[in-house]
């Protein structure tokens, strides 16, 4: 199964699965801070035989193998054969707070809800004794649980502070239909509060294209967006997201619009130069209207791009304005 609402980047180490079925879900961390897109890219070429079905980070979840395929992730044939492998960016020593704010939990919950529905995986963590007696236990487990139950590895991830309660909360919310909107980066249907520097500076409201400083007094009320159909849930579940993550939303300028405008000006200018050059090379009957018409035609296509970008930005602005001025009823 390929999850429809996330990117799929085919990984290299895809192995055939005896029955094409999965029973459990294995949670790993990547032992580093690299983004999921880097992990998924590396998975297309890595030669160590290692793979996973999903890579998750603060921004997105990327699927790397079809869930019918067998990934190389567990160290044991029980784990490889029976589990869907989920690699989450992070290391064993991360704090609970770090985990809570550095995973796109809502999206990960939606993805794993699809896995649970398809394979009947229960939303709970299996006990090691249970895994030993039933390698096809339909539940979640860590790499460390697999190590203790089935051996073949010395890995102990994802670490003692991994918030299993949060993981199960977001999966249950998705299964219950409480999460009805996707928050995506590519579709820009996303909003988040963020700070550029942890603990410092203004709080920004970001939507993937632009960002605006949120007046301190409005920070709490912006969280009403979590229930908004129009814009989608807050990506970070209403919490202020601090640190470099803000950069994930791109520059807060209108660079695309500026570039299109420059292109329109350049097209006009070159048309003008061409017309004047032709004139200088021998023409004597100067028809200003013809020259200007040629100049306008040259700029028209580029102008259409400018207008489309302006319309998109205006619409985004209206939505941001609405977000910063929540209705009384919210």
| CA distances (Å), origin 250, targets 107, 186, 311, 329 | 20, 12, 19, 32
Interface characters, 247-276, with Zn ion (x: CB under 5 A) = ------------------------------
Complex with Zn ion: residue 31 or 68, whichever CB lies closer: 31
Least separation in angstroms between residue 143's CB and Zn ion is 3
How far is it, in rounded angstroms, from Cα 107 to Cα 183? Answer: 7
Least separation in angstroms between residue 122's CB and Zn ion is 21
How far is it, in rounded angstroms, from Cα 235 to Cα 179? Answer: 11
Establish if 157 lies at the interface with Zn ion (CB under 5 A).
yes
Least separation in angstroms between residue 316's CB and Zn ion is 40
Complex with Zn ion: residue 11 or 233, whichever CB lies closer: 11
Residue with tokens 């801070």: 33
Least separation in angstroms between residue 180's CB and Zn ion is 32
Establish if 155 lies at the interface with Zn ion (CB under 5 A).
yes
182: enclosing H helix or E strand: none
Complex with Zn ion: residue 142 or 184, whichever CB lies closer: 142
Complex with Zn ion: residue 28 or 211, whichever CB lies closer: 28
Least separation in angstroms between residue 169's CB and Zn ion is 22
Burial of 154 (0-12, 13-18, 19+ CB in 10 A): exposed
Is residue 206 within 8 Å of 195, Cβ to Cβ?
no
Is residue 211 within 8 Å of 222, Cβ to Cβ?
no
Establish if 143 lies at the interface with Zn ion (CB under 5 A).
yes
Give the range of 55-63, 128-136, 141-149, 252-260 binding Zn ion by CB under 5 A.
141-149
Give the range of 150-158, 178-186, 210-218, 226-234 binding Zn ion by CB under 5 A.
150-158
Cα torsion at 142, 32, 114, 127 (round to 10°)? 10
Least separation in angstroms between residue 119's CB and Zn ion is 20
Establish if 28 lies at the interface with Zn ion (CB under 5 A).
yes
Total residues belonging to the chain? 330
Complex with Zn ion: residue 145 or 303, whichever CB lies closer: 145
Residues in contact with Zn ion, counted by CB under 5 A, come to a total of 4
Whether omega for the bond prior to residue 101 falls within 30 degrees of 0, making it cis, is no
Establish if 145 lies at the interface with Zn ion (CB under 5 A).
no
Complex with Zn ion: residue 22 or 155, whichever CB lies closer: 155
Q: Are strands 54-56 and 61-63 parallel, antiparallel or unpaired?
A: antiparallel
Spatial CB neighbours of 186, under 8 Å, sequence gap ≥ 6: 7
Binding interface with Zn ion (CB under 5 A): 28, 143, 155, 157
């Amino acid at each position: 199964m390929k999850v429809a609402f996330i990117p799929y980047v085919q990984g290299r180490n895809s192995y055939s699965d005896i029955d094409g079925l999965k029973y459990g879900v294995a949670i790993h961390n990547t032992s580093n801070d690299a983004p999921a897109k880097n992990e998924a890219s590396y998975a297309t070429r890595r030669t160590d035989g290692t793979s996973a079905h999903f890579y998750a980070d603060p921004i997105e979840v990327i699927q790397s193998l079809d869930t019918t395929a067998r990934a190389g992730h567990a160290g044991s044939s029980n784990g490889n054969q029976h589990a869907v492998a989920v690699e989450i960016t992070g290391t064993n020593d991360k704090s609970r707070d770090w985990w809570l704010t550095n995973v796109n939990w809502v999206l990960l919950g939606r993805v794993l809800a699809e896995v649970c529905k398809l394979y009947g995986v229960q939303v709970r963590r299996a006990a090691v004794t249970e895994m030993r007696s039933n390698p096809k236990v339909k539940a979640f487990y860590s790499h460390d649980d697999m190590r203790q139950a089935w051996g073949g590895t010395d890995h102990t991830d994802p670490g003692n502070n991994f918030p299993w309660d949060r993981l199960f909360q977001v999966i249950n919310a998705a299964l219950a239909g409480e999460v009805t909107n996707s928050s995506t980066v590519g579709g820009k249907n996303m909003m988040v509060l963020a700070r550029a520097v942890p603990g410092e500076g203004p709080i920004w409201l970001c939507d993937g294209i632009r960002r605006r400083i949120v007046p301190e007094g409005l920070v709490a009320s912006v969280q009403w967006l979590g229930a908004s159909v129009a814009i989608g849930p807050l990506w970070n579940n209403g919490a202020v997201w601090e640190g470099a993550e803000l950069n994930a939303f791109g520059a807060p300028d209108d660079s695309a619009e500026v570039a299109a405008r420059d292109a329109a000006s350049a097209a006009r200018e070159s048309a003008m130069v061409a017309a004047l050059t032709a004139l200088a090379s021998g023409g004597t009957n100067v028809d200003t209207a013809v020259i200007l018409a040629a100049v306008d035609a040259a700029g028209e296509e580029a102008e259409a791009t400018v207008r489309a970008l302006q319309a998109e930005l205006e619409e985004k602005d209206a939505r941001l304005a609405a977000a910063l001025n929540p209705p009384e009823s919210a």
